[in-house]
Amino acid sequence: MRKLALLLLVAALAGCSSEPTKTAEGPKPAAAQKPAVKPPEFQTGRTAFYEMYRAARQWAPDVKAFRLQSSPTKEAPGTDGKAEVWLGWFASAAKREVKPYTWSGGTGENLPERGVSFGPVDSFNPSNASTQPFDAGFLKSDSDEAYKAAQAKGGEALLKKNPGLPIIYTLDWDAKSNELIWHVSYGETPQDYKLKIAVNASTGGFLKKEK
């Protein structure tokens, strides 16, 4: 019996391990993935205008715009009437104030925050002819139609000689002719404009060469 008990003790000791118990390891967590960067968005003037207009109406119910202008970028120089950044100036006669708004579809450095944003309020004089507000209902023809009209009146030939030339779209009210006008300007600044075409923003029809 003593021999049998000794054999059982040896067997028990042999079954024990001096190594620490290993716990099962699950799969290592994957590295946190960076959120996908949205590609830049290019928009026509009329679409960008109404996004800013809706925001401006929250500031003042009687608000009306008196100017809309594109801001060319490297990714969107103005081809096809679209831009990556649009600037709008909206006035309230009741408040006698003007508030600038920006629509941005860009993601690059030095560009406004994506979406609609606004700047500081300034004073507004309703009798100033250079800042004459217009009714949004007159804006029936978009900047892409203004682009086509301008291209047919010299813009196409100019771009063949100067590929990538910036195109700036400015929308404002002409008190003399009593109409809303798209001014399609080929060049970086007013001093550098090589061609400027006026297009009726209600009909899309060509009006005249301004330069």
Query: Which two structure tokens, joined as six digits, stand for 8?
Result: 């059982």
pLDDT of residue 1: 37
By three-state DSSP, how is residue 146 classified? helix
Q: How many CA atoms lie within 13 Å of 90's alpha carbon, on the beta-carbon side?
A: 27
CA distances from 155 to 18, 71, 159, 167, 209 (A): 87, 18, 6, 10, 11
pLDDT along the chain (211 residues), means of 10: 35 40 50 70 97 97 97 94 98 97 90 94 91 96 98 97 95 95 95 96 97 83
pLDDT of residue 33: 63
pLDDT of residue 26: 53
Rounded CA separation 33/40 (Å): 21
Cβ atoms of 203 and 196 within 8 Å: the answer is no
Rounded CA separation 185/198 (Å): 9
pLDDT of residue 47: 97
pTM of full prediction above 0.85: no
